Copies of this chain bind each other. A is one copy, B any other.
Amino acid sequence: MLENKNNAKTDLASLGEFGLIDYLTNSIQLKHQSTVKGVGDDAAVLNSKKHILLTTDLLVEGVHFDLTYVPLKHLGYKAVMVNLSDVYAMNGMATQITVSIAVSNRFPLEAIEALYSGIHLACKTYNVDLVGGDTTSSTTGLLISVTAIGEVKKDAIAYRNGAKPNDLLVVTGDLGAAYLGLQVLEREKQVFKANPNAQPELDKYTYLVERQLKPEARKDIVTLLEALDVKPTAMIDISDGLSSEILHICKQSDVGCNLYESKIPLSQEVISTSEEFNLNSTTVALNGGEDYELLFTIAQTDYSKIKGNPNLTVIGHITPKSEGVHLVTRANQKIELTAQGWNGLS
C-alpha cells in the first residue's frame, strides 16, 4: 500500500513551468464536440446548447490527504471524482475539467507524472476532456484545484431545493466504507511508524480502503435515472456525510424529513469493521463522508420505477418543515438529526 519509491528522479525546476505544462499536456486527446479548444491558449473554448454546470474543489495535502498512504495516482483519480460527483449530483454529464496544481520542489517530475496518470485515467474512464489548468510551485506540500464543467438538459436539472413533503428519500450504493477505510489506513500508518518493517495487513479491508483511495463518482446513476424515466425532485452527492447532506436538502427545500436507521444501506465490511473499531455503524454512515454516493428525493408516484433496483435504497421520506429532520431508530425513537460531518476548517 505504501508507495513504491522510484529511484530515477527529475528535478521540476529544471523543466520550468512551460516545460512541465508541455510535458503534462502533450498526450491529451479531446473527445467532446463541445470542446472547441483545449489547453494551449489563454482560455479553453467550449460550446453547448444545454445548460452548463460548473463546480470546483480544492484538495490540500495535510488536510484532505496524507501522502504516507495515498498513492499519487489514486490522489489524481480521486481529485477528479470529487468534482465529477458534483456534476452528476445536478443530474448532468461531466464534459471537461481543468486541473491546477501547486507543488513544492520536494516532488520530482515522476511524482507529478503519477498524479497525472490518475487524472488521465479518470478522464478516460468518465469520458471527460482535460482542457486547461495552471501549474505553480508551493512553499510546502501539494495542492490540487479541479474545476469540472458539465451539461444537462434544461428540464432535467436536479437542484437541492425541489424536495416536497411525501417525496421519498433515496440513496445509491452503501455508506460509511470510505470513512472506515481512512481509519484502517491511519491505523496502519501508526503501525508503520512504530515498525517500518511491518507488512500492512489490509486484505480483509480491501473494499473499505478502495472506497477511500479510489472512489467512483456515480455517473451510472444519471444514466439509470434517465432510463427509468425518473427525475429527482432534489439531489446532492454525499461528500460530507449523510446527515449533513440531508440537512442541506431540507434547508434548501424548506422541508423536514424522517430517515429510518434500519433502511440505511451498510456493507458487511462496514458492519464488522465498525465493531472492530468500537464504532456505531449508523454513526459511521451518518457522519463518515467521502462515499460520493448520490442522495435524492423522488415523487411517491415514481416509486414503482425504482422498486427493487439494487443500486437504489429508499431510506426515508420528506415531511413538512414543521415536523423537523429526524432519524427514526431501530427502537422507533425519533432523534433530531445534526450535522457532525467532516469540516474542512476545524
Q: Mark A residues whose CB is within 8 Å of B.
A: 12-13, 15-17, 20, 36-37, 40-49, 51-58, 60-64, 85-87, 89-90, 92, 96, 98, 100-102, 131-141, 143, 145, 147-150, 152, 154, 157, 159-161, 235-237, 252, 343-346
Q: Report yes or no: A43 in contact with B252, Cβ–Cβ below 8 A.
A: no
Q: Report yes or no: A45 in contact with B52, Cβ–Cβ below 8 A.
A: yes
A70 CB to closest chain B CB (Å) equals 15
Please judge, given known A-B contacts A47-B52, A141-B139, whether A345 and B40 are in contact too, CB under 8 Å.
no
5 contacts between A and B (CB under 8 A): A43-B55, A43-B87, A43-B89, A46-B52, A47-B51
A327 CB to closest chain B CB (Å) equals 20
* Of B16, B54, B160, the contact of A40 (CB 8 Å cutoff): B160
Residues of B with C-beta under 8 A to A345: 12-13, 15-17, 20, 135-137
Copies in the complex: 2
Residues of B with C-beta under 8 A to A152: 45
Residues of B with C-beta under 8 A to A16: 343, 345-346
Tell me the bound Cα distance from A229 to B37 in angstroms: 24
Residues of B with C-beta under 8 A to A13: 345-346
Residues of B with C-beta under 8 A to A102: 58, 60, 63, 143
Please judge, given known A-B contacts A134-B58, A137-B63, A345-B15, whether A100 and B48 are in contact too, CB under 8 Å.
no
Please judge, given known A-B contacts A16-B345, A52-B47, A58-B145, whether A87 and B36 are in contact too, CB under 8 Å.
no
Residues of B with C-beta under 8 A to A52: 45-48, 52
Residues of B with C-beta under 8 A to A55: 42-44, 98, 132
Q: Which of A17, A61, A145 has the most CB of B within 10 A?
A: A145
Residues of B with C-beta under 8 A to A49: 49
Please judge, given known A-B contacts A139-B63, A346-B16, whether A96 and B54 are in contact too, CB under 8 Å.
yes
Q: Report yes or no: B87 in contact with A56, Cβ–Cβ below 8 A.
A: no
Please judge, given known A-B contacts A52-B46, A53-B45, A56-B98, whether A137 and B344 are in contact too, CB under 8 Å.
yes
Tell me the bound Cα distance from A53 to B42 in angstroms: 9
Residue of B nearest to A49 (CB): B49
Tell me the bound Cα distance from A44 to B42 in angstroms: 22
Q: Report yes or no: A54 in contact with B132, Cβ–Cβ below 8 A.
A: yes
Residue of B nearest to A34 (CB): B52
Tell me the bound Cα distance from A85 to B131 in angstroms: 18
Residues of B with C-beta under 8 A to A45: 51-54, 90, 152, 157
Residues of B with C-beta under 8 A to A56: 98, 100, 132-134, 145, 147
Residues of B with C-beta under 8 A to A145: 56, 58, 100, 134, 145
Q: Report yes or no: A43 in contact with B147, Cβ–Cβ below 8 A.
A: no
| Leading 10 A-B pairs by shortest Cβ distance | A43-B55, A145-B145, A42-B89, A136-B344, A43-B53, A42-B86, A62-B139, A46-B52, A44-B54, A147-B147
Tell me the bound Cα distance from A37 to B88 in angstroms: 16
